[in-house]
Amino acid sequence: MSNCGICWQRWLSAGLAVACQWVGSSVAAAQATAQLELPRLALSAGIHQIEVQLALTAEQREVGLMYRREMPQHEGMLFVFDQPATQCFWMKNTTLPLTAAFVADDGGIINLADMKPLTTQSHCSAKPVRYVLEMNQGWFAKKGIKAGFKLGGRPFEKAP
């Protein structure tokens, strides 16, 4: 192969690599932007107020907090499932260290799991739950919130 052919291959490879990076970062940016438009809801944890984004659809739950660089301390994401089941979460493409609270229908926290960023280690609910609340890691511990604590807010209120 001539030197021109080798140069062409290198140029093409470099161009493809840049294009792949651009597409990948565009997808991540689009997903992160879509997350910012999720519905919001106020929850309470005793005297503490939490503003959560709601992940209601399968797609929203799949993306979750991926690609986020930061999250205010009083904010989180509430994953809402159609029916109680054993829910398992991992942190692939999630750069924030988070704690997942696996929450029963009545707002009672079943168990908590600290999750390391960018891992595929599974963290599961100890019992079937419909809700999972993700907060910045350490938030629950700083507030003294443990398994058995009850969260308040519209999702946990019984209909009359």
* pLDDT, tens digit (0-9, with 9 covering 90-100), for 116-156: 999 999 999 999 999 999 999 999 999 999 999 999 999 99
Amino acid at 47: I
Neighbour-count burial for 105-141, b at 16+ CB within 10 Å, e otherwise:
eebbbbbbbebeeeeeeebebeeebbbbbbbbbebbe
Parse the chain into domains and list their residue ranges. 1-37, 39-156
Quick: pLDDT tens for 65-106: 999 999 999 999 999 999 999 999 999 999 999 999 999 999
Q: Per CATH, which fold does 39-156 belong to?
A: Jelly Rolls (2.60.120)
pTM: 0.79
**CA gap 157, 47 in Å, rounded:** 17
Q: Copy the structure tokens of residue 54.
A: 């709601």
Task: List, in order, residues 6 or more apart from 114 with CB less than 8 Å away.
Answer: 97, 98, 99, 137
